[in-house]
Structure 1
Amino acid sequence: MSPADRVPVSLIVDERLRTTSICLGVAYGSRHDSVNQGGLAHVLEHLLMSAPAANGEPLVQFIERLGGSANAETGLEHMLFYAQVDAQDADVVVESMLSGVLAPELDPVVLESERAAVIQELAAAAADPADVVQDAFLAALFPGHPLGRPVGGTVEEVRALGLEAVGEGHRSAFSTSPMALAVVGPSIPRGLSGRQAAPSGATRTRGPVPLGPVRVTTPAWPDEFGWVAVGGRSTRLGDPARHRFTVLANLFGGHASSLLYRKLRVEAGIAYSFESWDRGYTEAGAWRVLIGVDSGNGGQAVDIVIRELEGLAATGPSDADLDAARRQARMSLILDTETPLEHARSLALHAVRSPEPWNLQSELDRIAAVEKRDIQQAAAEVLSDLITVVRPERP
């Protein structure tokens, strides 16, 4: 049996489509890098997409030469490899993706090339305060914890990674992690017909790491435009009640129906770009609002966020605001399922992260069931661990 034969599959057949979307999810991310090998998962992601595929050329080039698109991402607790291709090319692309990612030919020349690309990627991220502030936010939210380390590692760590270390990471950590393949297209690709369906969910192979307290600091506001992240811990991945944080995020989102849009943009007129979201991980989640602020506006923007959180914790949202936030959260899920590539990504990611089977209607029902008292509880939990991080900082 080949490694690919052991990967469970979720298949969504929609005969109206002319493309096939493919996503391989792996329950392995940057938090699983050892302390002295930060960035290994991210480098491995680059290497696998650039290693020779079944036909001898790099996987990403092979797929895009067919007219398709291909990419990959590394998160704190997952990796995704995905492609969208003409349906007539799905057979060969599925085969090449699985063989290239699961049984790669790792090459030192390719490693050097991709290491250089990763270092350039880190340099670009370091030059963008909107990226830097998010790493700093997680570092303050989860200090001294694997969740608080930057996904890409540091330049020094990346430079120190050799082919042996990356190959061992693939063999001992990546290849032994729960995986799932999701395919959305007009027909079932050859070789997947009759394959085992994706199980009810992943069985985690790594236990939680105890969390310490958050690190609260006083922002050093810059004399220029910057980005501020305000937020706190939410509940862990798998908590059946964590949808309250999704709805809370929509109350603070950048869409015109949100509570924060009225307070921050319309009434105060101090922010144009802002968004809010929540992510769940093994030990806890991270809920935040990200705001672009001009010089002199940062403190006022944060005060507005805190004041609105305090109001929600005390009395909850109005019926109209709660209804709008639930509708926005539900529509986001619906749009993902009606976009084939996003649907495949969502299916694969959920299969390797959750012990529960994913069902759109169940998710919609859980969001619709979020009530005022749930928002009060979520706001109070965020306030209990509230941190504020700004980048750039005043020297």
Structure 2
Amino acid sequence: MHQFTTVDGPVPVVGMIDERLSTTTICLASKYGSRLDPEGQCGLAHVLEHVLMSAPVGAVPSLSEYVERLGGHANAETGLDRMLFYAQIAPDDADEIAGLLYQAVLRPRWSDDVLEQEKRAVFQELAAAAADHSDVAQDAFFAHSFPGHPMGRPVAGTKADIERCGTTSVAAAHAERLLTAPLSLIVVGPRLPKTVDPVVAGIEPRILAAIGTAPATMPPSPPPLPPQPVRWSTEFTWLCAGARSVPEHDPRRPHFNVLAQLLGSSPSSLLYRRLRGEAGLAYTFYAWNRGYADTGVWRVLAGVEPGNGDAALDVIRTALDEVATKGPAPEDLASARRQARMRVLTSMDTPLDCARFLALRGGGLGSWSPADEVAYIDAVTADDLRRAAAHVRDGLRAVASPAAP
């Protein structure tokens, strides 16, 4: 049975303890993301993430390499409003790795050589993303939805800005942004490591005193750009269509999450039947909602053949309008709720997914729990979905990649 435990402190700890687990997953979550990158330094958080996982720590060449040599898995990720650093290892290694994770993220050893190495790795990431039009379409959608705002910049950064990153600017981002943002530790395993206390891990009180002291201020989001006709190319194209939704902690967030299941890629969804089954316009498509601190984004991503773009977009609009006008059929509502509920439950049953899920729900349980999340989903009504669909329909905009010149 899952048992949740919390430990208060400068770095709050949330543990999901299950003695049946044969691995331990440790995730250090920071509420510092790419939207806090300064103007002209787009990608700074992303570069910092790379450096922290690749720089020497303790007596080992890097956290990533050491964890993998132990047979485990280590990685990190940067989002708009979050950075996650995680390792999945054998429980007997958890004490040592928890300590090294704290040191790698909170007390790094800066190296010009490591920075240049990781900048080259980021350039390769950017090249791969530029070749993936599903990524390009989503970046364009955010740029269109949040013009001139940090939310509209690519999370991974731009090559020109990253080329300007030096050890001084990366160290400043660490000291001024990562260390002063709220931080939490998520542990999923058979027991808590002894080193969940950062002091035990050797982190000085002066560093811990800075955590969470930065004010969570962001410029207000500007209005989205007016909807424009999609410029379809003569190639296979990725269409991204959607609208702003609601923030992470808004009580309406589950409404948009269930709407994403109602219009998602499951054969049980309304959009699947319309877009793939009846019209045959898309084989691969997805729908999802993501809440952030002060806003949210609901979107559909679909791959369409040349000549099918406008027809596919019309099907999406019509499905949204149908739900907004009539509400979902009872059996479709029940199915969408079950799908949304299953997403929570399957995330909780996979240790690494569970750690990420808990981190992305705020980095700490507080008044929230997985059982609460399921209860919120079960409470979503047809009227809730009707209002959510109307919200998306009325704000709908779409972009495509590749786009016609």
| TM-score strictly above 0.5 | yes
User: Does structure 2 conserve the Cα–Cα contact (< 8 Å) formed by 1:351 and 1:357?
Assistant: no
How large is the Cα RMSD of the aligned pairs? 1.9
Q: Could you report, residue by residue, the CA deviation over 1:52-85 in whole angstroms, capped at 9, with x for unpaired residues?
A: 1222311100100000001100000000001111
Alignment match of 1:363 (pick from 373, 379, 384): 373
Which whole-Å deviations, capped at 9, do the CAs of 1:88-137 have from their partners, x for residues lacking one?
A: 11111111111111100010000000000001100110011011000000
Ranges in structure 1 where 5+ consecutive residues have no aligned partner: 197-201
Find the aligned partners of 2:120 and 2:197 in 1 and give their Cα distance.
40
- What CA distance in whole angstroms lies between the structure 1 residues aligned with 2:120 and 2:251? 42
Query: Partners in 2 of 1:217 and 1:384 — Cα distance?
Result: 14
Contact between 2:284 and 2:303, CA under 8 Å: does it hold in 1?
yes
Q: Which has the higher contact order (CA 8 A, sep 6+)?
A: 1
Go from structure 1 to structure 2 and tell me whether the alpha carbon gap of 1:370 and 1:203 turns closer, same or farther (over 3 Å shift).
farther
Q: Percent identity?
A: 48
1:253 partnered with 2:257: no
Q: Given residue 232 of structure 2, which amino acid in structure 1 is its aligned partner?
A: W
Can you list the C-alpha shifts for 1:312-369, whole angstroms capped at 9, x where unaligned?
Answer: 11111000000000000000000001111111122223234x8953301111010111
Q: d(CA) in 2 for partners of 1:344 and 1:152?
A: 22
For residue 115 of structure 2, give the secondary structure of its aligned residue in structure 1.
helix
Pick one of 85, 88, 94 that aligns with 1:90. 94
Aligned CA distance change for structure 1 residues 173 and 203 (closer, same or farther; 3 Å): closer
Q: Which residue of 2 aligns with 1:375?
A: 385
Superposition pairs for residues 183-194 of structure 1, below 5 Å?
183-192=187-196
Aligned to 1:199: none
Instruction: Give the equivalent residue in structure 2 for 1:384.
Output: 394
Does the alignment pair 1:244 with 2:244? no
> What is the TM-score with the length of structure 2 in the denominator?
0.92
Task: Confirm or deny: 8 A CA contact 2:358 2:365 kept in the other structure.
Answer: no
Structure 1 residues 260-279: aligned runs within 5 Å? 260-279=271-290
Contact between 2:11 and 2:198, CA under 8 Å: does it hold in 1?
no
DSSP-derived class of the 1:191 partner: helix
Change (3 A) 1:93 1:318: same
Aligned pair partner of 2:222 in 196, 199, 212:
212
Q: 1:173 aligns with which of 152, 177, 192?
A: 177
Give 3-state SS (helix, strand or coil) of 2:361's partner: helix
Q: Which residue of 2 aligns with 1:105?
A: 109
The residue matched to 1:238 in structure 2 has which SS?
Answer: coil
Does structure 1 conserve the Cα–Cα contact (< 8 Å) formed by 2:240 and 2:300?
yes
1:315 and 1:6 map into 2 onto residues whose CA distance is 49
Relative to the length of structure 1, the TM-score reads 0.94
The alpha carbon displacement at 1:203 in A equals 9.3
CA distance in 1, matches of 2:177, 2:104: 17
Q: Assess, with a 3 A threshold, how the Cα gap between structure 1 residues 35 and 298 changes in structure 2: closer, same or farther.
A: same
Q: What's the secondary structure of 1:227's corresponding residue?
A: strand
Cα distance in 2 for residues equivalent to 1:203 and 1:320? 48
Per-residue deviation at 1:254?
0.7
1:145 aligns with 2:149: yes
**Which structure 2 residue ranges, 5 or more long, are not aligned?**
1-7, 201-211
Aligned-residue offset at 1:153: 1.3
Contact kept? 2:35, 2:80, Cα under 8 Å: yes
Q: Do the aligned residues in 2 keep the contact of 1:26 with 1:178 (CA within 8 Å)?
A: yes
**Alignment match, 2:3:** none
Q: Tell me how far apart the structure 2 counterparts of residues 143 and 166 of structure 1 sit (CA, whole Å).
A: 26
Amino acid at match of 1:387: R
Partner of 1:115: 119
Deviation at 1:235, TM superposition (A): 1.1
Cα contact 2:99–2:198 (8 A) shared by 1: no
| Separation of aligned partners in 2, 1:356 and 1:377 | 29
